[in-house]
Chain A
């Protein structure tokens, strides 16, 4: 490759990468998430952060940041605490890739300066390059296995940009190994070198050297007949010592490329004629440049955002909690999330999410929705149903905080969800308890009956037979009123003069009559405190409280499929 083309491409991709990084980083101060974020201007956010960082960096706080840098950023302490396998995989990728970039990609400016005798074809570099590449491959495999093992049945939140970036990475690694293998096995490369260093390309004259390089360096001469004479090899060694050895070690230590080279031997003649080493090099470099240029535009931007987030966490509380910095941290969270999905696995409402068939309850999906809400994508016309489902997801969160404590990047997700709900409410979206109870129970039942054109979720769509559809669960009810008698919600509502519309035993009776839809919007179902006194006391052992809980879930599903956009609330 001509150095002009190389440099043009290098600088072009560096420029793109730099502009992209600027754009993405500026979003940390531009994007507004949460009602309190609307009050702060981007310049205020930048100023607060700089002031805070300056005061923190030139005080005792510095040690906290250093600690966070080594433990959180380099050692990935939080990931280690949560998932050992993915931690190991991630560490292999980071170490492998970083050292490859320094030792191999930046060889002229780093390795050659540090080790004056550096040649890529000498030990231990032959081995190291393969070793680091293999580390990355094994690491990627481990991370993907870890993800696969924790799959939850919902589509992944990693977008096509990430997939494309993974393909690029694969091309870089594969072309690297193939290029290395070609260079080892190529007779053409052999003759190019002998011409330069010995001044000959004559096969007869080079016979002893050829014998040595064929038997110990893996060059695949098409015209060489087995077996090779050991005497000839020893003769070649002399020439080799003078002409080749200063720059060439035996490539067998390249434990990936060397076997590949041997496998390529039968087709080496063809590969040489087609100029394989050249186009593999182009491929390798192009993929590297495209990867460099596109890095800021994929989820892999987290390599910058996540460490920044982790370092910010080490800042003192007053700095973290200021409204202005909180706004920036939320925007940063959108970028720092690595889409690992550990939060989804830990999520308390993940079972509900599966039950409702709504991935919008899962933290990783909520994070995407939060971003989409902030940039206006979520509320665009034509996608109202998605917005309503996303809102259900946001509002059904129980704020248990398990996502936050599990997040390997240390994101304050609870704060993010709180802000998201504030924005959703400001946009006129309500929590299920509100939108369901905005209409009386019987009008909901009518809507379900009338709205047959719309797709109403039926029990067949639910993963298991609901309790409220299983006659054996409630048919034993003798309407003895024990549930109503012990219900503190009924007692309180009578006490306060706002009686519930149905008592628990009436809900059971409606189920017995096959009128379940009438219960879905009822105040009894929605005001149920889940204290389980009814279920504990029922002489017939009916799971009254479990049914109440399930009816709320069914209401979100079934009524959600017939509700209209922006119901009066």
Chain B
């Protein structure tokens, strides 16, 4: 039997979703040695769009064109919101750094600027977001110029059940009369009853399939100023595939994210994995933390991992375990618990207050604002209001006082809190780095 290995590092990050990946990136950029525990599967549910803050307040469903103005309003009206506690300079730096890392890993984003951009969703709704991949930006540009009634062609593939150009066109028809739609056979898959987005994305990375697809779309162009396609334009070589479509069709081409789990999710996961590994972050894939113990106030933390993954000793620990889907929080019949350490969770007084009477209540549900309370250094608090351990931090959606789904701030929350917390981690570890 091989003995389970025991590794040590400056900072151990538990959870490899958006927040954990961002924390690992920022830790590595600050020169901290870092071990990232967990697999990045939850990133597959991401659309590739990086929201900052789209809606506030939730009850009014007010959409913001300028996210930094929204943050000012948020700070005024919900000072406990995690995003309200970070200054705009930090948030800008966090986003720039994150997007730059993705770009270096081959997933390029349009310049961030100050605005939220509108993008089409696969069901024909319009969503406000901040970071838009290059492959989707032409769609956002078109929506900006909707008053000019631009001519646009949406194309979908027979058999790809999760994406219907006809539905998008029908939903938007009133506002966008010159939006046309066409359905084509995906070349080489004529015999298949059902198509899967990732398979098409991989198939389009071969020149022959790409050329045949472009040849099928070209006669349908008409006067279209742009072409929208489901997000299947390549995986590892997405940039190349997108450029080939634009060159072949002679008009801007944009992707529309499909239902999760989507190809943009696969690209984001691949890019983040490449980015953290390029920065020397060590990974413990598929490991779950069985126990987390602290060796005194000034000592180290020891993570016991499941199975053969061994253990990790760290000077600081970051909880990026998410809420319920990430299993950072567990809800039972009576209450919500933090899954690893049982840190007190800020939550409604009893289960009857978890949800509103109406499922679609405009103001959202109290359970979706439950989470960990943290001090000014992003350290979760124990029952007495003191830090649970001096170098234990929490980032991302496990934090209380936010409803990221309704506020359209998931990526913003993950990236910004990771950035802010890592500032404190670095400062504190440097302070104690005598040994």
At the interface, yes or no: B64 with Cβ under 8 Å from chain A?
no
Q: How far is the CA of A180 from the CA of B388 in the complex (A)?
A: 82
- Number of A-B pairs, beta carbon distance below 8 Å: 56
Nearest-neighbour CB distance to chain A for B285, whole angstroms, equals: 8
Looking at the complex, which one of B41, B44, B195 makes contact with A494 (CB distance below 8 Å)?
A: B195
Chain A residues near B42 (CB-CB < 8 A)? 539
Mark interface residues in B170-199 (1 if CB within 8 Å of A CB, else 0): 000000000000000000110111111111
Q: How far is the CA of A458 from the CA of B285 in the complex (A)?
A: 34
Closest partner residue, chain B, to A494 (CB atom): B192
Mark interface residues in B258-289 (1 if CB within 8 Å of A CB, else 0): 00110000100000000000000000011010
For the side of the interface on B, what is the size category? 20 to 34
Q: How far is the CA of A541 from the CA of B189 in the complex (A)?
A: 30
For the side of the interface on A, what is the size category? 10 to 19
Chain B residues near A484 (CB-CB < 8 A)? 196
At the interface, yes or no: A278 with Cβ under 8 Å from chain B?
no
Chain A residues near B288 (CB-CB < 8 A)? 541
A537 near B44 with CB under 8 A, answer yes
B198 near A486 with CB under 8 A, answer yes
Closest partner residue, chain B, to A486 (CB atom): B198
At the interface, yes or no: B389 with Cβ under 8 Å from chain A?
no
A539 near B261 with CB under 8 A, answer yes
Q: How far is the CA of A461 from the CA of B91 in the complex (A)?
A: 59
Nearest-neighbour CB distance to chain B for A370, whole angstroms, equals: 34
Q: How far is the CA of A490 from the CA of B194 in the complex (A)?
A: 11
A539 near B41 with CB under 8 A, answer yes
Looking at the complex, which one of A480, A491, A541 makes contact with B286 (CB distance below 8 Å)?
A: A541
At the interface, yes or no: A39 with Cβ under 8 Å from chain B?
no
At the interface, yes or no: A234 with Cβ under 8 Å from chain B?
no
B261 near A482 with CB under 8 A, answer yes
B39 near A481 with CB under 8 A, answer no
Nearest-neighbour CB distance to chain A for B123, whole angstroms, equals: 17
B44 near A482 with CB under 8 A, answer yes
B196 near A481 with CB under 8 A, answer yes
Indicate whether A495 sits within 8 Å of B189 (C-beta atoms), given known contacts A484-B196, A485-B261, A541-B286.
yes
Mark interface residues in B184-216 (1 if CB within 8 Å of A CB, else 0): 000011011111111100110000000000000
Most buried by A among B191, B195, B197, B288: B191
Q: How far is the CA of A168 from the CA of B196 in the complex (A)?
A: 71
Indicate whether A480 sits within 8 Å of B45 (C-beta atoms), given known contacts A485-B261, A495-B188, A497-B191.
yes
Closest partner residue, chain A, to B192 (CB atom): A494
Chain A residues near B260 (CB-CB < 8 A)? 480
Nearest-neighbour CB distance to chain B for A23, whole angstroms, equals: 48
Q: How far is the CA of A497 from the CA of B41 in the complex (A)?
A: 30
B196 near A480 with CB under 8 A, answer no
B45 near A494 with CB under 8 A, answer no
Chain B residues near A446 (CB-CB < 8 A)? none
Q: How far is the CA of A486 from the CA of B45 in the complex (A)?
A: 14
B39 near A485 with CB under 8 A, answer no
B266 near A485 with CB under 8 A, answer yes
Chain B residues near A36 (CB-CB < 8 A)? none
Residues 276-332 (chain B) with a chain A CB within 8 angstroms: 285-286, 288
Q: How far is the CA of A225 from the CA of B203 in the complex (A)?
A: 105
Nearest-neighbour CB distance to chain A for B154, whole angstroms, equals: 22
Nearest-neighbour CB distance to chain B for A464, whole angstroms, equals: 15
A538 near B41 with CB under 8 A, answer yes
Looking at the complex, which one of A480, A490, A497, A499 makes contact with B44 (CB distance below 8 Å)?
A: A480
At the interface, yes or no: A536 with Cβ under 8 Å from chain B?
yes
B41 near A490 with CB under 8 A, answer no
A485 near B41 with CB under 8 A, answer no
Chain B residues near A495 (CB-CB < 8 A)? 188-189, 199, 203
Chain A residues near B261 (CB-CB < 8 A)? 480-482, 485, 539
At the interface, yes or no: A540 with Cβ under 8 Å from chain B?
yes
A499 near B192 with CB under 8 A, answer yes
Chain A residues near B194 (CB-CB < 8 A)? 494, 499
A539 near B45 with CB under 8 A, answer yes
Closest partner residue, chain B, to A476 (CB atom): B327
Looking at the complex, which one of A494, A497, A536, A541 makes contact with B199 (CB distance below 8 Å)?
A: A494
Mark interface residues in A509-546 (1 if CB within 8 Å of B CB, else 0): 00000000000000000000000000011111100000
Residues 471-501 (chain A) with a chain B CB within 8 angstroms: 480-482, 484-486, 490-491, 494-495, 497, 499
9 other contacts beyond A490-B196, A541-B41, with CB at 8 A cut-off?
A: A480-B261, A484-B196, A485-B198, A491-B198, A494-B199, A495-B199, A536-B39, A536-B286, A539-B41
For this complex, 13 residue pairs linking A to B, each with C-beta atoms less than 8 Å apart, are A485-B199, A485-B266, A486-B266, A494-B189, A495-B199, A499-B192, A499-B193, A536-B285, A537-B41, A537-B266, A539-B42, A539-B44, A541-B286
6 residue pairs, one from A and one from B, having the closest CB atoms: A539-B41, A485-B198, A497-B191, A491-B199, A494-B192, A482-B261
